[in-house]
């Protein structure tokens, strides 16, 4: 069965520091991978997605993620965190081959940014 | 120009009541979804409709009944509300021939509190 694991429930970084949020997935075929961000009281906004091709994908707000098939990982990175990045981050895998469009989400990582 | 809208934003009700949450998207998408986010922020798919046809129906109590009057609307009706139904419910939409590799656009969520 497909699954997504985000090992870090809560991360605190200082403003200006670099950030890496981990995501591991379990999926039999080539996964369709997504990172979403949820600001307090808001819906989910897509940061970036990977379907195929270049394994390093760029997203909005200065985020990037790298797909590593050998490690079943899709970690999210940002070189310098801003206070406005404090939010909940969700990694998700889509079942593209089954044509259902369902997204399986990880448990989420809460990012806190210290001034 | 709200892409995916939900009403109401907040819903507080008593156990045993029946309530509905409405969702509308103006993106011209053909697939719509309902997700439930529990108190631990875990997101799980409930239903998915494509062109008004039910394509995903996860293990959800039959007290929950989605209704799609047209492609732009997917409403969620809940009968005999229980305390455990308290959660944030997100509507989402997507489009493309292969639904699994699409970005899903999320609404702002409806926070349901059952007393």
The string of pLDDT tens digits covering residues B11-27 is 999 999 999 999 999 99
Contact (Cβ atoms closer than 8 angstroms) between residue B86 and residue B73: no
Q: Does A100 touch chain B (CB under 8 A)?
A: yes
Residue A98 in this model has a pLDDT that exceeds 70? no
Q: Cβ contacts of residue B33 below 8 Å, gap of 6+?
A: A101, A102, B45, B46, B47, B48, B49, B56, B74, B91, B92, B93, B94, B104
CA atoms within 13 A on the CB side of B51: 3
CA angle at residue B14 from B8 to B17, to 5 degrees? 80
Contact (Cβ atoms closer than 8 angstroms) between residue B44 and residue B36: yes
Q: Which of B41, B90, B98 sits opposite A96 (nearest CB)?
A: B98
- pLDDT band for position A95 (50/70/90)? low
- Find the mean pLDDT for residues A53-82: 95
Helix H, strand E, coil C: the string for chain A is CCEEECCCCEEEEECCCCEEECCEEECCCCCEEEEEEECCCCCEEEEEEECCCCCEEECHHHCEEEEEHHHCEEEEEECCCCHHHCEEEEEEEECHHHCCCCEEECCCEEEEEEC
- pLDDT at position A97: 46
Residue A96 in this model has a pLDDT that exceeds 70? no
- pLDDT band for position B7 (50/70/90)? very high
The string of pLDDT tens digits covering residues B48-107 is 888 888 887 787 899 999 999 998 999 999 999 999 999 999 999 988 555 456 688 999
Q: Does A74 touch chain B (CB under 8 A)?
A: no
Which residue in A has a C-alpha nearest to residue B99's C-alpha? A101
Q: Does B94 touch chain A (CB under 8 A)?
A: yes
- pLDDT at position B51: 80
Strand locations in chain B (E): 4-7, 10-13, 19-25, 31-37, 43-50, 53-57, 64-70, 73-78, 87-94, 105-106, 110-114
Q: Does A36 touch chain B (CB under 8 A)?
A: yes
- pLDDT at position A90: 97
Q: Which of A38, A41, A102 sits opposite B56 (nearest CB)?
A: A102
Q: Residue B15, SS3?
A: coil
């Amino acid at each position: 069965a497909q699954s997504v694991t985000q090992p870090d429930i809560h991360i605190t970084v200082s403003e200006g520091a670099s950030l890496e949020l981990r995501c591991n997935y379990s999926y039999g075929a080539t996964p369709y991978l997504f990172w979403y961000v949820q600001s307090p009281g808001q819906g989910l906004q897509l940061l970036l997605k990977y379907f195929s091709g270049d394994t390093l994908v760029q997203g909005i707000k200065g985020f990037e993620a790298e797909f590593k098939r050998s490690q079943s990982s899709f970690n999210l990175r940002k070189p310098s965190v801003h206070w406005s990045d404090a939010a909940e981050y969700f990694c998700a895998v889509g079942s593209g081959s089954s044509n259902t469009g369902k997204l399986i989400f990880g448990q989420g990582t809460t990012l806190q940014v210290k001034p | 120009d709200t892409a995916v809208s939900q009403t109401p934003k907040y819903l507080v009700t008593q156990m045993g009541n029946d309530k509905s949450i409405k969702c509308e998207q103006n993106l011209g998408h053909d697939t719509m979804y309902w997700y439930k986010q529990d108190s631990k922020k875990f997101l799980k798919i409930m239903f998915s409709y494509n062109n008004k046809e039910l394509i995903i129906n996860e293990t959800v109590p039959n007290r929950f009944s989605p209704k799609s009057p047209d492609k732009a609307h997917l409403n969620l009706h809940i009968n005999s509300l229980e305390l455990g139904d308290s959660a944030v419910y997100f509507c989402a939409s997507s489009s493309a021939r292969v639904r699994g590799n699409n970005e899903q656009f999320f609404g702002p969520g409806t926070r349901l509190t059952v007393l």
